[in-house]
Amino acid sequence: MSTILGINAFHGDSAACLVIDGKLVAAAEEERFRRIKHWAGFPSQAIAWCLENSGLQLSDVDHVAINQDSSANLGKKVAYTLLKRPDLSLVLDRIRNKRERDGIDTHLARAFPDQPFRGKLHAVEHHVAHLSSAFHVSPFDEAVVVSVDGFGDFASAAWGYGKGSEITVDERVYFPHSLGIFYQALTQYLGFPNYGDEYKVMGLAPYGKPESIGAMRQIVNLESNGEFSLSPQYFRHIKEKVEYEWENGSPSVGTLFTPALESLLGPARKKDDPLEHKHKDIARSVQAMYEEAFFNLLNALHKKHGGDAVCVAGGCGMNSVANGKITLYTPFKRVYVQSAAGDAGGAIGAAYSVHHSLGGKRAEPMLHAYLGPGCDAKEIDALLDARKAEIADAGCTVERVDDEASLCAQTARAVSEGKVVGWFQGRMEWGPRALGNRSILGDPRRADMKDILNLKIKRRESFRPFAPSVLREAVPEWFELDGDVPFMMQVYPIRAEKHAAIPAVTHVDGSGRLQTVDAATNPRYYRLISAFKEISGVPMVLNTSFNENEPVVCKPVEALDCFLRTKMDLLVLGNVMVRRVA
């Protein structure tokens, strides 16, 4: 038996996974255990859970793979330092980071003092891990493979071709040029300073027009071979140190843009300033520029390699709007983006890179993301028994419903009545999206559902859309494109004649970030949506993550706590229904 522990450490979304004899058996992000969004550092708790879930100790692990190799692209690092002469503090900071991140064996020994690791450590280049995380778990035997993000191992992008178990890397884009940094810098400019706020710009973009696309083309330069570069005057990181905090907490990044960007676009918006129409136009222009660069790259790769399949990874692989347009603006017809396309997914990529370097065969494709912690009925019963007085004081009743058909029918009825439902089932999802096991559900037919959710639970920006979970076979009837989108990583246009029927999940531009639900991969969730269809005629429910300004809930106690402190109407914990009646 070969056991490989994959790790993403010292990046945002630190994570771990376990691959045994080529099979991915467990994967989870550290944030779910630490309860701090995007937690960065060494993922000791995620590692401990992965091992415990498989009945193993660290001493049973044959290989540990991390998605970083500090020796990678060393010549490029030296050349940049000698030719560009950046601020010395920038160079020293990167050397310090290298030293810290090299000591994985030290971190393992500290976290597991009674479980000596006797296996072999493997450093896998950041983008090689990303490429592996996309291709080696995809359903394609051959495909173009693309990784685009901020930076990792001195590169911001890499691409090539995968065939069987081999991936050939064609080219890379190196520091300081980065589409991820472009999008992050403009996200900061628009007044969204937190790590991971790019999705807010993506959600705001449809409210504007690409009036500033000319300015964006001064910021990002495209080449006919698909490559891209940044105009240096607009970015601080090119010549000076930008403050990054990556250790033991939520990541934070200092200001990336220079005053020249404000000279080009106007004064930057501060965090609490009102959102004006010009900000919406800039958001749309940022998204349009990213798509222009992304499709320029994909079209160049198709011209070189041909084929109809593409796999996408890296932080920019989370841009579901662009992903949903790949089949419209490139010749590719099949697209795969795994559920943790960003840095967390590098844990899987590192593990599979090592698996294949050791001669391992291709694994079964990753068609679902239910790879995290689960719970059993005893744990739920014990929790509800211990908290029964508090539950009663909150005006709630508890009912066990062991018949699945009845459980789904009752839940579907509650959704159809406009109730907000917390749905906690099975194993937690891998990646940032709630996919029907740690979800809050609502009625997509209600125009006021977004307001209800924001009032009762979410309290988030009004421009951010909610997503539909739709029965797989119903996609062609309701959307203008067809395809498998199991991880909510692609946005599709909703058919114009259906907009009025599902206003709660139809964005302002007529699109929806769908999740396709299959009976084979999540039978209970499929049954619930089918029950809702029987009531309403609509084969989908509104789905948003089960959380309230925190990481998605992991354990039953976190689900119950979130239910009790919000105004959620119904909590379905396994086979138990907790109803708010007062």
DSSP letter at 457 equals: I
Q: What is the pLDDT of residues 554-581, one digit of tens each?
A: 999 999 999 999 999 999 999 999 999 9
In this structure, are 262 and 284 located in the same domain?
A: yes
Q: What is the pLDDT of residues 210-219, one digit of tens each?
A: 999 999 999 9
DSSP letter at 225 equals: T
In this structure, are 119 and 162 located in the same domain?
A: no
Given pLDDT bands bounded at 50, 70 and 90, which one contains residue 90? low
Residue where a domain stops, chosen among 286, 320, 341: 341
Q: Is 103 strand, coil or helix? A: coil
The CATH number covering residue 95 comes to 3.30.420.40
In a domain, 327, yes or no: yes
Would you say the C-alpha torsion 347, 351, 357, 359 has a positive or negative sign? negative
In a domain, 240, yes or no: yes
Q: Whole domain around residue 461: which residue ranges?
A: 377-580
Per-residue burial over 29-43, b = 16 or more CB atoms within 10 Å of its CB, e = otherwise: bbbbbbebbbbbbbb
Confidence (pLDDT) at 99 = 47
Mean pLDDT, rounded, for 266-293: 97
Number of domains in the chain: 3
In a domain, 114, yes or no: yes
Percent of the chain with pLDDT over 70: 96
In a domain, 144, yes or no: yes
Task: Give strand pairing partners of 249.
Answer: 40
In a domain, 348, yes or no: no
Are the C-beta atoms of 228 and 173 separated by less than 8 Å? yes
Backbone angle region of 270, left / alpha / beta, with phi > 0 → left and psi within -120 to 50 → alpha: beta
Are the C-beta atoms of 343 and 179 separated by less than 8 Å? no
In this structure, are 207 and 245 located in the same domain?
A: yes
In this structure, are 82 and 64 located in the same domain?
A: yes
Nearest CA among 309, 305, 312 for reference residue 349:
312
In this structure, are 8 and 96 located in the same domain?
A: yes
In this structure, are 95 and 182 located in the same domain?
A: no
In a domain, 136, yes or no: yes
Are the C-beta atoms of 291 and 322 separated by less than 8 Å? yes
Mean pLDDT, rounded, for 143-156: 96
Structure tokens at 109: 């020994």
466-to-452, 505, 508, 551 alpha-carbon distances in Å: 12, 5, 11, 17
Confidence (pLDDT) at 244 = 82
In a domain, 346, yes or no: no
Q: Is the pLDDT of residue 102 over 70?
A: no
In this structure, are 190 and 118 located in the same domain?
A: no
| Mean pLDDT of the chain, nearest integer | 95
Mean pLDDT, rounded, for 199-210: 97
The CATH number covering residue 417 comes to 3.90.870.20
Given pLDDT bands bounded at 50, 70 and 90, which one contains residue 34? very high
Strands 334-336 and 309-313, by their bridges, are parallel
In this structure, are 84 and 142 located in the same domain?
A: no
Residue where a domain stops, chosen among 59, 92, 126: 126
In a domain, 558, yes or no: yes
